[in-house]
Amino acid sequence: MSDTANWIFDFDSTFVRVEALDELAEIALAGRADRDTLLGAIREITNLGMEGRLAIDESLRRRMSLLAIQPDMLPKLVQRLVDNLTPSFARGMGQLRSMRERVWIVSGGFHEWIDPVAEAVGLRRDRVIANRLRARADGLLEIDPAASPCAIDAGKAHAIRAAGVPRPRVMVGDGITDWQVREHGACERFVCLTEVVRREPVAARADVVAANLDEVLAAASDLRAPDQG
């Protein structure tokens, strides 16, 4: 394992073994007669976006439009996410905590639930790059476009550069937006994690395909900081 690499992890289906918006939908749609239909639609939109068949901003807009998100739903969601860490990440959390100065989470999800999950497992919440919600006049939550750098095409790459994440940088994820970080030069290596889901259009573009966290960390053993050649 490289002791110089900065590790940039996607959140949904990478750090946790679920899609947070899908989990939030289950909470928000509880008791509705059309719950199963809407959940199916949301999951389909998620998959289209992750495979690159739907633009990330459109994927996010469509999913959010199907939900009425209330602030009191968020603690329930956070607990679900803490309880659903990806298995190899749960086992390796002690190692990730020991690397916490070099561990980042970059997601098309939202600070409102990723920050508390990072804090709960002992990682730095100021190493989270994500989107933000805002309250509407009726009290429901919606995306805040002015504070959502990862809600646009190639947004993760732009946000990583804006945050000044040092080289060498390894991006780890399962979706096309994670590979785009490599495509746009904001990391030196892209590792496609397949522990939760294997998306062939993403795996085909990856520098490394890894089945678990141990294989992920081994994928950067040859990377060195710029002043080391």
Active site residues: 10, 12
| Helix ranges restricted to H, the chain | 20-28, 35-50, 56-65, 74-82, 87-91, 93-98, 111-120, 155-163, 176-183, 200-203, 213-218
Residue 177: which of 65, 62, 12 has the closest Cα? 12
**CB-CB contact of 4 with 167 (8 Å):** no
C-alpha–C-alpha distance, residues 37 and 150, integer Å: 28
C-alpha–C-alpha distance, residues 171 and 192, integer Å: 8
Helices (H) and strands (E) in the chain, counts: 11, 8
C-alpha–C-alpha distance, residues 105 and 99, integer Å: 13
Tell me the HSE value of 166 on the side-chain side, using a 13 A CA sphere: 11
Q: Are strands 141-143 and 133-135 parallel, antiparallel or unpaired?
A: antiparallel
